[in-house]
Amino acid sequence: MGYHLRDDQYQRLVVFHERAGRLSDSEALMALADNAFQEEFGHKLFTLLKVDRAAGVMRRIYSTDLNYSPLGGTKPLADDEWSRRVGAGRHFLGKDCEDMKRYFADHETLIKMGLVGVLNTAVVWRNEVIGWINLLDAAEHYTLEMCDLAGLYAQALAPSFLAN
């Protein structure tokens, strides 16, 4: 990691992983993650997208806004800059409207909703990206320093991606 965790961040991460490891229900794990990501990073929209390589899509398995981002909704797996970056297991950080316009087809709606800051982090299982955690909020909300910590939280969600 590019920085050291503060003690309070470390303690929250440990508590999250302890709780996550004891859950046997995928829905409960995703809800726990929603709350943990809200507490640690904040978000106006939190979604989980599972990779379905056979169908060539990312399929939504969790969303805090079912009207805009309904469960089961899909986005094509594309060969664009964003997909190559997160598909390789790296984080993506979008800071403003220009980033939204450059990387997201649904940017007009997201901008109208005030969702112009984005942090995406991959969930990796056995050296394969199986999904993405997507946090959206106001412009400049997310920082580079948040990315590695978000990745540490994200890996505890692998069972939910494998179960759905």
Q: Taking the CB of residue 157, how many other CB atoms lie within 10 A of it?
A: 24
Amino acid 64: pLDDT: 97
Amino acid 1: pLDDT: 47
Q: Which CATH number fits domain 7-163: 1.20.1260.10, 1.10.1040.50, 3.40.50.10420, 3.30.450.40?
A: 3.30.450.40
Q: What angle do CA 39, 45, 46 make, to 5 degrees?
A: 65
Amino acid 78: pLDDT: 79
Q: CB under 8 Å to 105, separation ≥6 — which residues?
A: none
Residues 44/137, Cβ–Cβ less than 8 Å: yes
Q: CB under 8 Å to 119, separation ≥6 — which residues?
A: 41, 91, 92, 93, 94, 134, 135, 142, 146, 147, 150
Q: Taking the CB of residue 80, how many other CB atoms lie within 10 A of it?
A: 13
Place of tokens 């316009």: 101
The pTM of the full predicted model, rounded to 2 decimals, is 0.92
Amino acid 86: pLDDT: 76
Amino acid 84: pLDDT: 76
Q: Which residues lie across from 49 on neighbouring strands?
A: 60, 132
pLDDT in tens, the chain (164 residues): 456 889 999 999 999 999 999 999 999 999 999 999 999 999 999 999 999 999 999 999 999 999 999 999 988 887 777 777 777 888 899 999 998 898 888 889 999 999 999 999 999 999 999 999 999 999 999 999 999 999 999 999 999 999 98
